[in-house]
Amino acid sequence: MNKQNNIETFHISTYGCQMNLADSSTLVSTLITRGYRRVKEEDQADLLIFNTCSIREKAEQRVYGRLGEVYKYKQKNPNLKIAVVGCMAQRMGDELIRKVPHVDYVLGTDRLFELPDVIEGLEGTSSVMTAFGHENMDFITPVKETPFSGFITISRGCDNFCSYCIVPFVRGKVQSHSVDYILESVRKLVDEGVVEITLLGQNVNSYKYEDTDFSRLLELVAQNTDIQRIRFMTSHPMDISRRLVDVIGAEEKVMPHIHLPVQSGSNRVLKDMGRFYTIDQYHKMIDYIRLKNDYISLSTDIIVGYPSETGEEFEMTLDVVRKVRYDTAFMFKYSSRPGTRSAEFTDSVPEDEKSDRLIRLIKLQQSIGYEQNQREIGQIKYSLVEGFSKRSKDKLRARTEGNKTVLIPVTEKIEPGQFVPIKINAADAFTLHGEIVEVS
């Protein structure tokens, strides 16, 4: 225990994307190295950490709700400290403490790793720190997410300023980690037993370090490390290159899955969003991806009810979904974020119309997802066993090359972290079902 701050234990809650998960893992590891103990229950902790997301208003509302709920612990234990870190902390700064006075520390996206210094009151720290400083973040040591998988952040920030998105404001300008840092990080995780890594960036295709772009980076990781599987996200349709598609086809370790957020099927809306591609260009890239990779799984993000989106423009989005036939999609109603360009537009689509559009879209995507999954029946998929099914202890959960969840009966011979050949016997809209088979 640090005698001065009376903090011995901590609890962390993480909201939002995989980059936040990766940051939380690193923060946890740093705190443990400094002698603090992680606990599972909030009421056992001397320090409560909330690593937050600002992408949608709902995400922030959830954190406000949680901060309200944990006030009771502070009343019982006046020494309890509460830290809000990450995107919401970055966006709000000391306004957060004004709104929620029982919050003790507010550390933005580039400052959260300094939390151990802050709670120990080291010189040069303060309870609110939000200045960007990720020009060189190669000091961050990635840690594994599970005993066999890990995330490695390859770039931080984003320069795209899509009209609806808060990320460039809360994560700052794009900055790529060095190639050496990434290769060493992969090797470190492999030495610790990791077999699958996910390379993360707001827009991995904008990765650039000296002469190395993202497709070359993928080749280097595949060819110069002993990692067995490589995944990546997210790709921006404006920046994805044919060469990247070729690398995915050529490098066996790179898994056949691309997350390519389309956002809208209307060129006018895309222009308004500042996405810098047309639907025709998007379809051409999808055609090339499918031409080069017999089996590839595609996922996307879609926003419905963007300000001024007409019914006809929404139909164009449905057309894209019908034509591309995504395996999965993350679908949202437009949510205005203060400070973004689109927050100044009149949010002209009524809330119930947005809800109707979302329901129609989800229904369509579910039926297509179901059909896509039916095509996998009879195939053998080499899958990574991740653990028990979230719903049943009689089933193990594994992940296919195409990033689909497959459930298999529990067998004593199989441990999480193993690759197994699974024959797919059945499928619904979200999950495959199968059994392990012998392969000669």
Give contact residues for ligand SF4 (rule: CB under 6 A).
158, 160-162, 165, 167-168, 202-203, 236
Q: Closest approach of Cβ 335 to ligand SF4, in Å?
A: 13
Give the nearer residue to ligand SF4 in terms of CB position, either 200 or 361: 200
Comparing CB distances to ligand SF4, the nearer of 58 and 363 is 58
**Residue type, position 199, single letter:** L
> Least distance (Å) from ligand SF4 to the CB of residue 342?
11
Evaluate whether 329 touches 300 at the Cβ level (below 8 Å): yes
Element at 286 (helix H, strand E) = helix 279-292
Give the CA distances from residue 280 to residues 7, 192, 269, 343, in Å, rounded to whole numbers and listed in that order.
57, 45, 14, 28
What minimum distance in Å lies between the beta carbon of 281 and ligand SF4?
Answer: 16
302, β-bridge pairs: 263, 331
**Residue with smaller CB distance to ligand SF4, 161 or 330:** 161
Closest to ligand SF4 by CB, 168 vs 249, is: 168
Using alpha carbons, select from 27, 202, 169 the residue that is nearest to residue 89.
169
Q: Determine the angle formed by the axes of helices 279-292 and 242-250, rounding to 10 degrees.
A: 20
What residues pair up with 7 in beta bridges, in sequence order? 2
| Distance set, CA 127 to CA 104, 105, 112, 120, 132 (Å) | 7, 5, 11, 11, 15
Q: Residue 211 corresponds to which tokens in the numbers above?
A: 């002469």
Instruction: Give the nearer residue to ligand SF4 in terms of CB position, either 80 or 167.
Output: 167
Nearer to ligand SF4 by Cβ, of 283 and 341: the residue is: 341
